[in-house]
Amino acid sequence: MYNKVMVILRDINTVDALIDKVISYNPEANADLLRRAYAFSNEVHYKQKRKEGAPFIQHPLAVAAILCEMKMDTNSIAAGLLHDTVEDTGTTEEDIRALFGEDVAFLVESLTKLSKIEFRTSEDAQAENFRKMFLAMAEDMRVILIKFADRLHNMRTLEYLSPAKREKIARETLDIYAPLANRLGIGWLKSGFEDLSFKFLEPDVYNELVQKVAKKREEYEGYLHEVIKIVEAHLKAASIPGDVFGRVKHYYGIYQKMQKQKIPFELVYDVIAIRIITGTQSDCYAALGLIHSLWTPVPGRFKDFIGAPKSNLYQSLHSTVIGPKGERVEFQIRTEDMNRIAEEGIAAHWKYKEADHADKLDDKYFSWLREFVKLQKDTPDAREFLEAVKGNMISGVVYVFTPEGDIVELPQNATPVDFAYSIHTEVGHQCTGAKINKRIVPLRYTLLNGDTVEIITAQGHTPSRDWLKFVRTQKAKARIKQWLKVEERKKGLSLGQELLEKALLKYNLSPALAKSKEILAIARPFRINTHEDLFVAIGYGRISVHKLINKLLPESEKDEKEIIPAHKDERKTEEGKGIRIEGIDNIMFHRAKCCYPLPGEKVTGFVTRGRGVSIHIVNCPTLDTNTIDMDRLVDVEWTGDESTHTVKVQVLTVDKRGLLAELSAVLSTNNININHLEASATYEKQALFNFILEIRNKRQLDQIMKKMAQINGVIEVKRVQA
Ligand code: MN
């Protein structure tokens, strides 16, 4: 049984102890460098104290000790000793460079940059933080390992901080550091981060669990002893080399099982696990066969991570069997090398090689990581890694690749159009199609992690309003809207000019007046300063052409006294609220009285003369395409609108007392106001009710009509459209 995190390096309290330890695994280590780094750090931090009251130097020393436990190179350990100097003291990067060389200076600089990341809880910020860590890591793995050591020591002394800080740091450790350590395959750090976070985030649950495990410790040990004895004997008899260890799983792992299965601690069966460390890969399978011949395997619990290693290089065989007492026991079977990788992960490869050897090592062992970072082609591994990244720590983000292999980060559910706009506005505007991993997909395709995205463009192609329905990024939305606005202004402009010129002709005035100074003078009360603005205002129906022209006419020919800005009287009525036309706000609208369209229904707009845009249901008979001016039709759509709208509903019933009360009851229990009601009896002993109701949207109308139709005695419920 071990809990490495808790026990390491209690004994390293001095630089001499540290150096002894480093020399023990790396006889060539530069002891002088470490001694100088320690002396320097001690000097510049001398005024500082840790929160617990200890001299500050204890912290960098502890960080260096953890790095030494990870058997890191001397420069990393020196950087561990110096990691807070630039951040906390007057030391500069140049000082570090001059005294300790380029490599140490680089590490300290990277750590200083990383420490400036303010971790926030919002998902975006978290994704960004992760991205920065990921990039720092890609540049030099050692940076993240030193960062881990720093965080581990801070977690171990967390109790001295305020409860709020404690919670924040513990949460961040659990959310970011533990999954990251896991991804890098550093098992002991992952469990260490988890247990320490757990301890501070859920102290009561944690303490109770610690006590419960302690109480059963003797029982566990007896059981483990028995199983180990049996396994060892059989391994020996079969001539399979191997050492057998037992352990109690880490607290957070047990807690997760309790939570996932919604069971108390007493019912968690696999609190203990047994590990067989054997010689070769084939010994692993031989040992597995032996275990399976001794005890019955639990179906579905066998996993071969030797044949199919995890992307963090973890290799092992896992199987759960029904043990000697009828209890389930989990076995992990692996070689010595595999075990080292499982425990130390990436750190296992990053041993005490000095910087000049390190590069080669780096290339050999970290090529897989570099692959991910370079956003290479859609290898299953890259996808798996990024998927895990997404699932583990940055939900809400996808990473995709350009055809050149550059990475692009987009929000989840982003589409090729978002991708196109993220590359360049023109690429977005001219985007006509997309290829994902060389296959053509629709523009509304949802991008997945690891997709390689190629955008097909065509010169002169323009954005579509439909895109707004599926794009996810602010950038794409803003660019599309901007384009539409410019485009719609152009449309409104020519329509407005045309309407004005036609109207002038109708009043026997010169169409040239449309571009005159006089007309601008008249339009000034509308806060219009240019002819363009005037045409646009007319095109959108914000200004009545007739009222405008009226002002131009001689007194005798005027038919109205005053020009009233059209939007002014429209504001009184709230009509048009919740409708959007071609990306423009503040247009004068009204719902057509013929069809009373509702939010949720397909509608179209008709530019009236001077009364703004009237909104009709798409197939409203009033909009007979043979008789109306098609140029005046504009695309409109509902926005999220919570106001109510009047609708005419006609109900035909048998002539029975109390039916009106029942109908009213249905309406009032559904919070629907009756604006107006007319009732009449028909000659066939039937009653006809004409309601004008205040309805929110089409769905609400459909529901209420259905409910009314279900009332006993109701013959027909219909909406009156014209
Ligand atoms: Mn620190």
Model confidence pLDDT, tens digit, residues 430-446 = 999 999 888 889 999 99
Q: How far is the CA of 83 from the centre of ligand 1 (A)?
A: 6
Contact in structure between 74 and 354 (CB atoms under 8 Å): yes
Radius of gyration of the chain (CA): 37
Report the percent of the chain where pLDDT is more than 90. Answer: 22
Q: How far is the CA of 715 from the centre of ligand 1 (A)?
A: 79
Q: How far is the CA of 176 from the centre of ligand 1 (A)?
A: 17
Residue 378 pLDDT: 33
Residue 93 pLDDT: 87
* Residue bearing the bigger pLDDT, 229 or 8: 229
The residue-averaged pLDDT of 216-224 equals 85
Residue 507 pLDDT: 80
Among candidate residues 88, 109, 221, 371, the one labeled active-site is: 88
Q: How far is the CA of 60 from the centre of ligand 1 (A)?
A: 7
What is the band of 634 on the pLDDT scale with cuts at 50, 70, 90? Answer: confident
Could you please report the per-residue DSSP string of 300-326?
Answer: T--EETTTS--TT----EEEEEE-TTS
The CB density around residue 422, as the number of other CB atoms within 10 Å, is 20
Q: Which range is least confidently modeled, 293-302, 586-595, 693-702?
A: 586-595
Task: Give residue-wise pLDDT tens across range 353-412.
Answer: 444 444 443 443 444 444 444 432 333 333 344 444 444 334 456 777 788 766 677 877
| Pairing, β 645-654 against β 714-719 | antiparallel
Residue 134 pLDDT: 62
What is the band of 61 on the pLDDT scale with cuts at 50, 70, 90? Answer: very high
| 671-704: b (≥16 Cβ within 10 Å) or e | ebeeeeeeeeeeeeebbbbebbbbbbbbebbeeb
Mean confidence (pLDDT) of the chain: 79
Tell me 584's DSSP state: B
Alpha helices per DSSP H over 216-271: 217-237, 251-261
Residue 203 pLDDT: 93
Q: How far is the CA of 84 from the centre of ligand 1 (A)?
A: 5
Contact in structure between 417 and 397 (CB atoms under 8 Å): no
With tokens 């100097």, the residue in question is 85
What is the band of 65 on the pLDDT scale with cuts at 50, 70, 90? Answer: very high
Q: How far is the CA of 82 from the centre of ligand 1 (A)?
A: 9
In one-letter notation, the amino acid at residue 34 is L
Contact in structure between 303 and 287 (CB atoms under 8 Å): no
Is the confidence at residue 663, as pLDDT, over 80?
Answer: yes
Q: How far is the CA of 32 from the centre of ligand 1 (A)?
A: 22
The residue-averaged pLDDT of 648-664 equals 85
Distant-in-sequence, close-in-space partners of 575: CB < 8 Å, separation ≥ 6: 589, 590, 591
CA atoms within 13 A on the CB side of 608: 17
Contact in structure between 212 and 306 (CB atoms under 8 Å): no
What's the pTM value of the predicted model, to 2 decimals?
Answer: 0.50
Residue 202 pLDDT: 93
Among candidate residues 11, 87, 404, 466, the one labeled active-site is: 87
Is the confidence at residue 205, as pLDDT, over 80?
Answer: yes
Residue 630 pLDDT: 67
- Residue 118 to residues 60, 98, 122, 133, 176, Cα–Cα distance (Å): 21, 29, 11, 12, 13
The residue-averaged pLDDT of 699-720 equals 89
Nearest one of 625, 650, 629, 653 to 721, comparing CA atoms: 650
Residue 631 pLDDT: 66
The CB density around residue 317, as the number of other CB atoms within 10 Å, is 23
Task: Give residue-wise pLDDT tens across range 607-620.
Answer: 776 667 788 887 78
Task: Give residue-wise pLDDT tens across range 132-185.
Answer: 566 666 667 788 889 999 999 999 989 888 888 898 889 888 877 887 787 677
Q: Which range is least confidently modeled, 108-112, 214-218, 677-681?
A: 677-681
What is the band of 581 on the pLDDT scale with cuts at 50, 70, 90? Answer: low
Q: How far is the CA of 55 from the centre of ligand 1 (A)?
A: 13
Dist CA 173 CA 191 (whole Å): 11
Q: How far is the CA of 150 from the centre of ligand 1 (A)?
A: 5
Q: Residue 87 catalytic? A: yes
Tokens of 116: 């400036």
Residue 100 pLDDT: 94
Is the confidence at residue 120, as pLDDT, over 60?
Answer: no
Q: How far is the CA of 203 from the centre of ligand 1 (A)?
A: 24
What is the band of 131 on the pLDDT scale with cuts at 50, 70, 90? Answer: low
Report the percent of the chain where pLDDT is more than 70. Answer: 79
Q: How far is the CA of 347 from the centre of ligand 1 (A)?
A: 20
| Beta pairing partners, 686 | 654, 682
Task: Give residue-wise pLDDT tens across range 479-506.
Answer: 898 888 888 788 788 888 888 888 888 7
Q: How far is the CA of 112 from the centre of ligand 1 (A)?
A: 10
With tokens 């102290």, the residue in question is 203
Residue 556 pLDDT: 57
With tokens 């109205």, the residue in question is 560
With tokens 């973890």, the residue in question is 314
**Most confident by average pLDDT, 77-81, 174-178, 180-184, 579-583:** 77-81
Residue 608 pLDDT: 73
The residue-averaged pLDDT of 533-554 equals 80
Secondary structure of 625-653 in HEC code, one letter for each residue? CCCCCHHHEEEEEECCCCCCEEEEEEEEE
In one-letter notation, the amino acid at residue 313 is L
Contact in structure between 114 and 128 (CB atoms under 8 Å): no
Q: How far is the CA of 124 from the centre of ligand 1 (A)?
A: 25
